[in-house]
Amino acid sequence: MSQRCPHCHYARQPDDDAPDWQCPACTKAYAKAAAVPPPDGTHNARPRHSMGHQGGVGRWLLVLLAFGAALWFGRTLFPATAAPDGPAATGQPEVRLYATAWCGYCRLTRDFFAANGIQYVEHDIEQSSEALKEHRKLGGNGVPLIVVGDDVVKGWNEAALRRLLAPWLKG
């Protein structure tokens, strides 16, 4: 006598591995009024032969593919944040150069900063009235006027610059 599932109408076969109270195809318990209820914790047991049909490797590959696509396309949405450039990133104090385009000593100062990897902000006192006001406030009578942190260096003075910027000099 073969038994049919009331849910999926599967005809039970003699070689099915599911318990007698459970349908091997849909894994639902049969409704039997006179039968003993299934043991606790076993009402969702699945037969061994249907495991591959419920996901298995295919489902994991799909999840892995979706995760890989999210990483690949998400990298353009979240660009890597580079370390900030500038004096704050290296611990170097702020360096400001008040200069003119024609001054030879100003050119020496620029070359010194470039050769030693010193980051600075240049203000041309002939091009900016605001820069000229700042230059005069700092007591400048000529150029270059260099401000390193809170220290002011008037004129070209390599020894003073080396002393103030020693930890940050490359050369």
- Give residue 149's region: left, alpha or beta (phi > 0; psi -120 to 50): left
pLDDT in tens, 61-94: 888 888 888 877 776 665 655 555 555 556 899 9
Cα–Cα distance for residue pair 92/167, rounded to 1 Å: 8
Terminal-residue alpha carbon distance, the chain = 96
pLDDT of 106 higher than 70: yes
CA-CA distance, 36 to 33, in Å (whole number)?
A: 8
Looking at every residue in the chain, the average pLDDT score rounds to: 81
**pLDDT of 2 above 70:** no
The angle formed by the CA atoms of residues 161, 110 and 94, to the nearest 5 degrees, is 55
* Residue 108's pLDDT band (cuts 50, 70, 90): very high
**Residue 167 is encoded by which pair of tokens?**
């930890």
Cα separation, 96 vs 77, in Å, equals 36
| Whether pLDDT at 23 is above 60 | yes
pTM: 0.50
Give the whole-angstrom CA distance, residue 102 versus residue 31: 100
Token representation of residue 48: 């061994």
Domains of the chain: 1-69 (no CATH), 87-168 (3.40.30.10)
Q: How confident is the model at residue 52 (pLDDT cuts 50, 70, 90)?
A: very low
**pLDDT band for position 34 (cuts 50, 70, 90):** very low
**Which one-letter DSSP state was computed for residue 28?**
P
Report residue 121: phi and psi, to 5°. Answer: -115, 130
Q: Is 87 exposed, middle or buried (0-12, 13-18, 19+ CB in 10 A)?
A: middle
- Most confident by average pLDDT, 29-38, 44-53, 156-165: 156-165
Q: Which residue has the tokens 């150029």?
A: 143
